[in-house]
Amino acid sequence: MNILYLKTDGPTTYLGLALAGKLVQEVNWESGKDLARDLLSKIASIFEASETKLENIDGIVIYKGPGSFTSLRIGCTVANTLSYSRGVPIVGTSDLHWMSDGMERLKAGENDKIVIPEYGAEPNITPQKK
């Protein structure tokens, strides 16, 4: 099974690519406030480095939280969009073993269709300035 893994819960972002069930590419980087700008190019780079294409994935696993509001929102939006556009299943997990749990869920034929981020706390919305 070919799986794309994403974890965007904080200032460090993780991407992984498993081909035939074996993790062949991983990248961790300090994405900080540049996550929205850099995420798609980093995804493209792990496919290029593994000499495969996005069209070859069978599913997506994303860590859905808890974590940073903005980082999770960006990661889930990108993962949901890739899942929808490629017509592949997506599962969101939120525990310590998120990658293996996600792979097992995909192997079992599960599909969340849309992964909603779990922030772990209510958002802190500041009042509008006049």
Domains of the chain: 3-107 (3.30.420.40)
pLDDT for res 128: 86
Q: Give the bridge partners for 87, in sequence order.
A: none
pLDDT for res 124: 72
Give the count of beta carbons closer than 10 Å to the beta carbon of residue 14. 19
Query: What averages of pLDDT result for each successive group of 10 residues across the chain (130 residues)?
Result: 96 96 95 94 96 96 94 97 97 96 97 94 79
pLDDT for res 94: 94
Give the count of beta carbons closer than 10 Å to the beta carbon of residue 111. 14
**3 CB-contact burial (10 Å; exposed 0-12 / middle 13-18 / buried 19+):** buried
Give the count of beta carbons closer than 10 Å to the beta carbon of residue 36. 15
Report the alpha-carbon distance of residue 38 to residue 35 in Å, rounded: 5
Q: Give the bridge partners for 17, in sequence order.
A: 4, 25
